[in-house]
Every structure is written in structure tokens, then in C-alpha cells.
Amino acid sequence: MLNTECLEQEIAWFSRVCDARFDAYFKDNESDKDLQSLIPAPDLSSSHTAYAEVVREFDFSYLERIVLVLALVPHLRPQALDFFSLQNSALSRPFSEIGGWRGKAHLGFLPTCETAAFILAGSSLEKRLHVANLFKDEHPFIRQGILRLESQANDEPLFSAKLQISHEYLQRLIEGERHKPDFSANFPAKLMQTALNWDDLVLNQEVMEEVEHIVAWLTHSRHILNDWGLQKSLKPGYRTLFYGPPGTGKTLTASLIGKLTHADVYRIDLSMVVSKYIGETEKNLASVFDQAQNKNWILFFDEADSLFGKRTQTSNSNDRHANQEISYLLQRVEDFPGVVILATNLKANIDAAFSRRFQSEVYFAMPDAQQRERLWNKLFINQERLHSDVNFRELAERYELAGGALLNVARYAAIRAVKRDHPVITQDDLLRGISRELMKDGKTL
């Protein structure tokens, strides 16, 4: 069976269930009609479609499948919900028990949790309370990020929340693709990827041991927590601070940890997270943490001191607001079950409340002469493109530069050689590039 055929079958079944609910509620006055026996769900046990695989993966029940299709229908067959826009003629407004909301551009009916409760429970209070269990944090709908519940206001009833399917599962259910979210206004994080490998990482032995410690946790955390009986005492998350001068490999190390452990590394864009408006920073961060909650992700906060900086004495409302943001961050970072890496050039700028909760603090020092020579050689894999006068050992011993600066030197030297229509890079090309990098710090050759 094709996925489209499976979805058509599921939507047709869902429509019959809705018709039966409307007939029972408005015509027959039978709120307790057993829809499951009246209209059984299609058998998906032998279907190999993307939709059927998700249903089997989470062992979704009859009620759960109705909620799942309800969230899908606005994307696949919006007209199937048109009847839910029914008006209460006595009150000249929509029926409160049907719920629903209107989008800014979408003209059709959009469901809320109230809509799901109406279909599944009618006016039965007992069934309504059972439906509420489907929207709890521990249910796969929420825990696995399949559905998103968005309340219009904090003091409104639970069932008034918008019922939306996540973009990740929309792609998976429709196209069979496991979508990875990318940078957008609603997701201020960028997937970090690198063509480099673990062998390309040049760090001193102490730093490498700390990094391997993080890798070991990512690889064996489940075994440590469950088999060693530490799950009651230790939280599943891991928090670490990378600090040191710029260009010393903090970002590359985070990317390679993810690559080695097959975990996606997302770099948080702080320019889109931090907002001057009260509550917006917390909301932006919640978007990232909520989507990452039960995925194999590493969250990487670069220049973290701009967000995780020290709290100040509260002399005005702005100070209180800033301190509230830090407290919120502290809570989300501590409760996050995955790995959080904070990177900063200045450790002293990080709030002490975060430092106390780090499992490790890794100092990325400037590379020594031996490490710099290794970096030079790794930069220029094709030695045929180097003039015979190039002496990496001499450059490494004379000029203290971080790996990031060496990349800039290599780029400049290559461009200079191409501009001269010269087939190789000379020592002079490299020296001129080094001079440019030293000038940035007010130094000379």
C-alpha cells in the first residue's frame, strides 16, 4: 500500500468517526456511543508505509490515532473539518464544546484539544478526563515531540490549547523522511556539520582526555544510569563549559563530538534568542529546548557569556528581567536530558550558578609549537602546492597563532598565489598572511 493510499484510508475512517459523533451528539443525544465498535480503525498491521510505521512504533490506540489524524487533516484535507465551524444558532457563535481556532491566513477550521475531546468523549465527563491523559507531558505525543500544544494565554483551560503536529512528524508521516529542523524564525538554531574527522583535531593530551570523557558519557550513559543503578541519583543530562582564546577549536570539537557519537549538534543563534521584550527570550529558548527534549541532540551555545552572564543587583525592572532570564536558563539547562556545551572566551563572565552545575570545564589553550606544526601540515594536505622554501617548523616556532588564525592565513596565501597566477604557495605568501593576522591583535612580524 502506498503512503497516500494509507493516508486516504485513515482520513476516510476519521471522517466517518466525526460524522458519527455529530449525529450522536446533535441528533441522537447519545454522548456515550461506542465509536470504536461502531467504526473500527483500519488494520495497519501489514502496511509498510511511513504512517503505519509510526502508528506501530508507538503502539497508538484507537483514540490516539484519531488525535493524530485530527492534527494531520488541516495539512492534508482541510475541508474535512469544515463542518466543525458549525454555529450555535441560539447564541450566534461557535459551539464552545467543539473548540477550534482561526489562523491568520488559513480560512478553514483549526483544531484544539477541545476538538479532540469532543470527538472522543462527546459530553461524557469520564471520557473527557481520560482524553486529558493524551496531552500530558509523559505521553509520547508530547514526550516525543509529535504534537505541539500552544495556549493562547496561561490562565485558559488546558483543552483550549492549539493542537498542532510538529514539522518533523509532518514530514515523516507524509513523506517518510526524518526531518531535521533548520534555522528559522521559530527555531533559532543551526545544525553544525564538518567535513573534518577526529584525526584532524589537534589538542593537548589533558583536553583530549576531557573531550573523550564527554564522548564516553554520550556512548554509555544509558548503561551507567540503568545497569549501574545510578538513575535515581544522577540526571541523564551532561553540561560542560569550553573556554579559552578564540580559534582554539571549541566549535570544531563540539562538531566532532556529535559526528563521532552520531548526535546532531545545534548551534544556538543568540542574536535571535535574546529579546528586549519581557518573556520573549524565554519563549525563544523554550522552542529549542522543547524540540530537543527527547532527541539525540547536542545544544551548543557559542559566546555563551552574552546569555549566561553574571546576575546583577536588582536596581530596576530591566535587572529583574535579566535575572529572571538567567534563572529560566539555569532551570532548562539543568533539566535537559541531553548534552549542553557552553563556549566562551572568558570563563569569568559566566554566572557562578551555571559553573557549579557543569560536569566538566575544558580549557582550550593556545597551541604550542609542536601542535602548530601539526596544524600547518594538516591544513596543506596537497604538499605539491607548496614551494620548496615553505618551512612549517620555523613558522610554528616563531609565530603563536590559534588554529582559526591559521585557517585565515592559508586562505589568504592561496588567494595571493592564484592572483599571481602562481602554481604554488611560497613562504612569503604565508608570512604576509601571518602579518595580517598579527595586526588584528596589534602585533607585527
Tally of structural domains, the chain = 3
Q: Residues with Cβ < 8 Å from 306, sequence gap 6 or more?
A: 270, 274
- Residue-range definition of the domain harbouring residue 36: 3-175
Cα 23 from Cα 17, distance rounded (Å): 10
* Same domain as 170, residue 193: no
Among 106-120, 333-347, 389-403, which stretch is predicted with the lowest mean pLDDT? 333-347
Predicted confidence band at 259 (pLDDT cuts at 50, 70, 90)?
A: very high
Cα 98 from Cα 18, distance rounded (Å): 11
Cα 86 from Cα 378, distance rounded (Å): 68
In terms of pTM, does the model score above 0.85? no
* Same domain as 157, residue 90: yes
The predicted model gives 75-87 an average pLDDT of: 92
Cα 102 from Cα 109, distance rounded (Å): 6
* Same domain as 162, residue 272: no
Cα 434 from Cα 59, distance rounded (Å): 61
Cα 128 from Cα 147, distance rounded (Å): 19
On whether residue 208 sits in a domain, the answer given is yes
The pLDDT tens digits of the residues spanning 153-174 come to 777 888 999 999 988 889 889 8
Q: Given a cut of 80, is residue 326 above it in pLDDT?
A: no
The predicted pLDDT at position 329 comes to: 77
- Listed ranges 142-151, 172-181, 309-318; the one with the highest mean pLDDT: 142-151
The CATH number of the domain where 380 resides is what?
A: 1.10.8.60
Burial class (CB in 10 A: 0-12, 13-18, 19+), 240: buried
Among 22-31, 59-68, 429-438, which stretch is predicted with the lowest mean pLDDT? 22-31
* Locus of grid cell 485530527: 70
The pLDDT tens digits of the residues spanning 400-439 come to 999 999 999 999 999 999 999 989 999 999 999 999 999 9
* Same domain as 104, residue 167: yes
Nearest to 357 by CA among 344, 368, 342: 342
* Same domain as 239, residue 152: no
Domain end among 323, 340, 363 = 363
The predicted pLDDT at position 322 comes to: 55
Cα atoms in the 13 Å half-sphere on the side-chain side of 262: 1
On whether residue 84 sits in a domain, the answer given is yes
The predicted pLDDT at position 320 comes to: 56
Query: What are the residues facing 148 on neighbouring strands?
Result: 164
The pLDDT tens digits of the residues spanning 185-224 come to 567 788 899 999 999 999 999 999 999 999 999 999 888 8
On whether residue 197 sits in a domain, the answer given is yes
On whether residue 71 sits in a domain, the answer given is yes
Q: Given a cut of 90, is residue 300 above it in pLDDT?
A: yes
The pLDDT tens digits of the residues spanning 99-141 come to 999 888 888 999 999 999 999 998 889 999 999 999 998 899 9
* Same domain as 258, residue 220: yes
Cα 137 from Cα 46, distance rounded (Å): 31
Contacts 24+ apart (CB under 8 A), 79-82: 79/108, 80/11, 80/14, 80/15, 80/18, 81/108, 81/109, 81/110, 81/111, 82/108, 82/109
The predicted pLDDT at position 9 comes to: 95
Nearest to 392 by CA among 365, 362, 420, 371: 371
Predicted confidence band at 277 (pLDDT cuts at 50, 70, 90)?
A: low
Q: Given a cut of 80, is residue 271 above it in pLDDT?
A: no
Higher pLDDT, 284 or 168: 168
Predicted confidence band at 230 (pLDDT cuts at 50, 70, 90)?
A: confident
On whether residue 184 sits in a domain, the answer given is no
The predicted model gives 18-37 an average pLDDT of: 82
The predicted pLDDT at position 112 comes to: 96
The predicted model gives 360-377 an average pLDDT of: 94
* Same domain as 8, residue 155: yes
Domain end among 363, 395, 424 = 363
Nearest to 253 by CA among 335, 339, 184: 339
The predicted pLDDT at position 32 comes to: 66
Q: Given a cut of 80, is residue 282 above it in pLDDT?
A: no
On whether residue 49 sits in a domain, the answer given is yes
Q: Is the separation of the CB atoms in 390 and 425 below 8 Å?
A: yes
The predicted pLDDT at position 275 comes to: 63
On whether residue 183 sits in a domain, the answer given is no
The predicted pLDDT at position 225 comes to: 85
Q: What percent of the chain has pLDDT over 90?
A: 54
The predicted pLDDT at position 114 comes to: 96
The CATH number of the domain where 197 resides is what?
A: 3.40.50.300
* Same domain as 340, residue 236: yes
The predicted pLDDT at position 305 comes to: 78
Nearest to 287 by CA among 302, 273, 270: 273
* Same domain as 145, residue 86: yes
On whether residue 445 sits in a domain, the answer given is no
The predicted pLDDT at position 274 comes to: 67
Domain end among 363, 387, 422 = 363
* Same domain as 359, residue 373: no
Q: What percent of the chain has pLDDT over 70?
A: 90
* Same domain as 154, residue 286: no
The predicted pLDDT at position 176 comes to: 80
* Same domain as 152, residue 94: yes
